[in-house]
Amino acid sequence: MTSVPVVKEILKANDSVAVENRQYFDRLGVHVFDVMASPGAGKTTVLLETLHRLEAGLRPGVIEGDLASSIDADTIAAQGVPVVQINTGGNCHLDAPMIRSALDHLDVESMDLLFIENVGNLICPSNYKLGHHEAVVVSSVSEGHDKAHKYPGIFAKSDVILVNKWDLAEVFEYDLDFFVQGVRMVNPDVPILPLSAKTGEGFAPWMEWLHARISKPVDAQPALSG
Q: Residue 89 interacts with another protein (CB under 8 A)?
A: no
Q: Residue 5 interacts with another protein (CB under 8 A)?
A: yes
Q: Which of residues 124-163 bind another protein (CB under 8 A)?
A: 124, 127, 146, 148-153, 156
Pick from 186, 207, 214, 224 the residue near another protein by CB under 8 A. 186
Q: Which is nearer to another protein, 1 or 212 (CB)?
A: 1
Vertex 225: Cα angle to 129 and 154 (nearest 5): 60
Q: How far is the CB of 8 from another protein (least distance, A)?
A: 5
Q: Dihedral sign for Cα 222, 105, 16, 10, please.
A: positive
Q: Which residues have CB under 8 Å from 205's CB, separation 6+?
A: 191, 193, 195
Q: Which is nearer to another protein, 3 or 219 (CB)?
A: 3
Could you give the strand order of the β-sheet that contains 134-140, starting from the edge strand earlier in sequence? 83-87, 60-66, 113-117, 31-37, 134-140, 160-164, 192-194
Interface characters, 49-78, with another protein (x: CB under 8 A): ------------------------------
Q: Which is nearer to another protein, 31 or 157 (CB)?
A: 157
Contact 57, 179 (CB under 8 A): no
Q: Residue 7 interacts with another protein (CB under 8 A)?
A: yes
Q: Residue 33 interacts with another protein (CB under 8 A)?
A: no
Q: How far is the CB of 83 from another protein (least distance, A)?
A: 25
Q: CA 196, CA 208: separation in Å to the nearest integer?
A: 15
Piece of the chain touching another protein by CB under 8 A; list 5-13, 54-62, 130-138, 164-172: 5-13
Q: How far is the CB of 26 from another protein (least distance, A)?
A: 25
Contact 117, 43 (CB under 8 A): yes
Q: CA 48, CA 135: separation in Å to the nearest integer?
A: 17
Angle between the N-to-C axes of helices 43-53 and 203-215, in degrees from 0 to 180, rounded to the nearest 10 = 70
Q: CA 201, CA 205: separation in Å to the nearest integer?
A: 10
**Interaction site with another protein (CB under 8 A):** 1-14, 90-93, 95, 123-124, 127, 146, 148-153, 156, 178, 181-182, 184-186, 188
